[in-house]
Amino acid sequence: MSAEVRTEFDLPGVTVRFRFAGHSDKGVVRRVNEDSFLTEAPLFLVADGMGGHALGDRASQATIAAFDGAFEPGMPASAQHVLDTIRAANDAVTALSADGALSGTTLTGVAFVDVGSSENYHWMAFNIGDSRTYSWDGRTLLQVSVDHSAVQELVDLGQITKLEAERHPNRNVVTRALGAEDSVDADIWLLPARQRQSFLLCSDGLTKELSDDEIARIIVFHDTEQLRETDSLPMTLAERLVNAAVAAGGSDNVTVVVVESELVGVGAPHSDDDTLERGGLSGLLEDTRPRG
């Protein structure tokens, strides 16, 4: 059973409270769990070792190891440090393939960062491959990341629909991954930190079995059950989602990380400003349009 963790950062003019949990399962078909995840504020991520690759589990583990302990506890990260660590993770995964065995992994995540502007604090979302980052505002589940996959390219070209993509024979073919090349480019989104925000990170084992609508219904059900409980829930949302995907078929490893943040204090934005606007760092971050 996964456990929910709470922590907070005391920053100038504002306190940031985090609540998060992660859970992973190998599913009912795979013999090895090639997924890995990290929940270590200010950073949260999911890595999915490439299915069928001899070192997929080691690739995702090497990626987590590159990030684990790389950021100062109790402090926001810097966007540049996140990008540098992604490159270091790619080097670590590439090194696993030095003996001729093919190794690779996807990567998706969010980091609470200070960008050094007049509105310093942002959530930085990043993605390589077809693991996903979603945002949740209490009503709508929005896919922030864009899949790096063969079927997503076909959808973008208008050759197939999103529904057709879910059953396409090439739906497992990714077009970008850590370890595939000597260098890798992550898609980046900067989301201004607001009073309350929630993110869901997952490997494709979740989205293979559950549609976005089904995921949203489980979140709503979980929130409703939480309001009814006088004590803490016996099951985290991450665990509930993973269990639902396994029960729906479990054809792949399934990993989910759920992150909630709250800003309090004189520096926190008012609730009427609580919108997901995107910002950018000129010359540093690739501005890619999120997919609804």
Q: What is the pLDDT of residues 201-217, one digit of tens each?
A: 999 999 999 999 999 99
| Structural domain includes residue 111 | yes
Q: What is the Cα Rg of the chain in Å?
A: 18
Task: Please provide the size of the chain in residues.
Answer: 292
Contact yes or no for 148/108 (Cβ under 8 A)? no
Q: Which residues contact 252 (CB under 8 A, 6 or more apart)?
A: 27, 29, 30, 51, 203, 204, 205, 208
Q: Looking at the predicted structure, is the pLDDT value of residue 244 above 60?
A: yes
Q: How far apart are CA 163 and CA 171, in angstroms?
A: 11
- More confident of the two residues 161 and 281: 161
> Dihedral sign, CA of 263, 269, 270, 275?
negative
Under the banding of pLDDT at 50, 70 and 90, the label for residue 165 is low
Q: Which residues contact 142 (CB under 8 A, 6 or more apart)?
A: 134, 135, 136, 276, 290, 292
Which of 72-76, 126-130, 150-154 has the weakest average pLDDT? Answer: 150-154
Range of the domain at 103: 5-143+179-273
Which of 72-76, 116-120, 231-235, 256-260 has the weakest average pLDDT? Answer: 231-235
Q: What's the pLDDT at 149?
A: 78
Mean pLDDT of 87-95: 94
Q: Looking at the predicted structure, is the pLDDT value of residue 107 above 90?
A: yes
- More confident of the two residues 173 and 250: 250
Q: What's the pLDDT at 286?
A: 37
| Structural domain includes residue 31 | yes
Under the banding of pLDDT at 50, 70 and 90, the label for residue 263 is very high
* Backbone phi and psi for residue 248, each to the nearest 5 degrees, phi listed first: -80, -5
| Structural domain includes residue 160 | no
Overall number of domains in the chain: 1
| Structural domain includes residue 174 | no
Looking up residue 76, the CATH number of its domain turns out to be 3.60.40.10
Q: What's the pLDDT at 284?
A: 38
Q: Looking at the predicted structure, is the pLDDT value of residue 90 above 60?
A: yes
| Structural domain includes residue 201 | yes
Under the banding of pLDDT at 50, 70 and 90, the label for residue 102 is confident
| Structural domain includes residue 157 | no
The alpha-helical segments, DSSP class H, found in 17-97 are 56-67, 79-96
- Mean pLDDT for the chain overall: 85
Cα separations (Å) of 185 from 23, 113, 123? 27, 19, 19
| Structural domain includes residue 244 | yes
Stated pTM of the model: 0.87
Tell me the three state secondary structure of residue 161.
coil
Please write the tens of the pLDDT for every residue from 13-67.
899 999 999 999 999 999 999 999 999 999 999 999 986 666 889 999 999 999 9
| Structural domain includes residue 166 | no
Mean pLDDT of 144-161: 77
